[in-house]
Amino acid sequence: MRILVVEDEKKVASFIKKGLEEENYAVDIAYDGEEGLVLAEINEYDLVLLDIMLPKLDGMEVLRRIRGNGSGVPILMLTAKDAVEDIVSGLDSGSDDYLTKPFSFAELLARVRALLRRKTKEKTDFLTIGDLILSTSTHRVKRGGKEIELTAKEYALLEYLMRNPNRILTRTLITEHVWDYHFDPSTNVIDVYVNYLRKKIDQGFEKKLIHTIRGSGYMIKDEP
C-alpha cells in the first residue's frame, strides 16, 4: 500500500515515513503543497496524509485540486489547528478523516487502516482469500491455520494482492502501490518477490491462490 505524506515540517514527515514503512507501507514525502499535488497527480496512491499549513500551496487547496481532478484517493488531513471551521471545511472539501497534532502514532495507523479498508468493503482488519488470512493490524498471515513468516516486502505485496482479489494486477500497478518512488522499474524485482510469496503461500497446498496472467501480470483468487 503506497502512501503520500505531504508535510513541510521535515522531522514530522520523517517520523511518519519511518513509522509507516515499518508497517510495510511504501511512503513518498512532499515538503510543500505544489510538490504534493504533482506527486498525487503522477502516481497512484492508496492514501494521502495531508498537512493543512503548507508553503507554496495551502493543504486545503491541494485537497480541492486533488478532488477536482476526479481522484477518490482517501485523504487524511493532519492539522496543527483544532479549529472546528478548518475541520469542517476540510471534510466538506472532500477529506475523509482528520487528525490534530500532536497525534498518537497508534491512532494514525488505525485511521490509515480504516481508510484503506473502505475500498475493500472489509469491516475488520482481516483480509481473507479462501483459507488464507491476513491481519492488517498485527501483520500476521495464516493459511489453513498455519502461521506463515513473511518479510516486510513480501507482506506488503501480499496485502496489496489481497486487497484487490480477482483483479489482474500489472507490474506497473504493483510497483506503484508496493514500492516508493526510489524503485527502479527496469529490474525484475516484482517477479522475484512474487516467486518468494508463491513458495511460502502456495507450496504444499493443492489449491494455488497466486496466478500468473501471461503478458499482463498477476492475480490472486480463490477459484481454480
Binding of other proteins at residue 53 (CB under 8 A)?
yes
Interaction pattern, residues 96-115, with other proteins; x per rule: CB under 8 A: -----xxxxxx---------
Q: At what angle do helices 10-22 and 105-120 cross, to 10 degrees?
A: 60
Shortest approach of other proteins to residue 56 CB, angstroms?
Answer: 11
Q: Which is nearer to other proteins, 11 or 182 (CB)?
A: 11
47 vs 190 by CB, closer to other proteins: 47
Task: Please tell me whether residue 81 binds other proteins under the rule CB under 8 A.
Answer: yes
Of 41, 47, 151, 35, residue with least CA distance to 97: 47
The DSSP annotation for 145-191 comes to: TEEE---HHHHHHHHHHHHSTTS-EEHHHHHHHHS-TT--TTS-HHH
Instruction: Rule CB under 8 A: say whether 19 interacts with other proteins.
Output: yes
- Side chain identity at residue 23, one-letter code: E
Task: Mark residues 22-51: x for contact with other proteins by CB under 8 A, - for none.
Answer: x--------x--------------------
Which residue stretches of the chain are H helix? 10-22, 33-42, 59-68, 84-92, 105-120, 152-163, 171-178, 189-201
Q: In the bound complex, what is the minimum distance in angstroms from residue 42's beta carbon to other proteins?
A: 24
Strand partners, 98: 77
Q: Would you say 81 or 207 has its CB closer to other proteins?
A: 81
Residues in the chain, overall count: 224
Q: Which is nearer to other proteins, 59 or 217 (CB)?
A: 59
Q: Please give the order of strands across the beta sheet that includes 132-135.
A: 126-129, 132-135, 141-143, 146-148
Alpha-carbon dihedral 19, 108, 75, 137, rounded to 10 degrees:
80
Cell of 135: 491481519
Count of positions on this chain that bind other proteins (CB under 8 A): 21
Interface with other proteins (CB under 8 A), residue from 41, 44, 55, 124 = 55
By C-beta, is 12 or 57 nearer to other proteins? 12
Instruction: For other proteins, give the closer residue by CB, 8 or 180.
Output: 8
The contact set with other proteins (CB under 8 A) reads 8-12, 15-16, 18-19, 22, 31, 53, 55, 80-81, 101-106
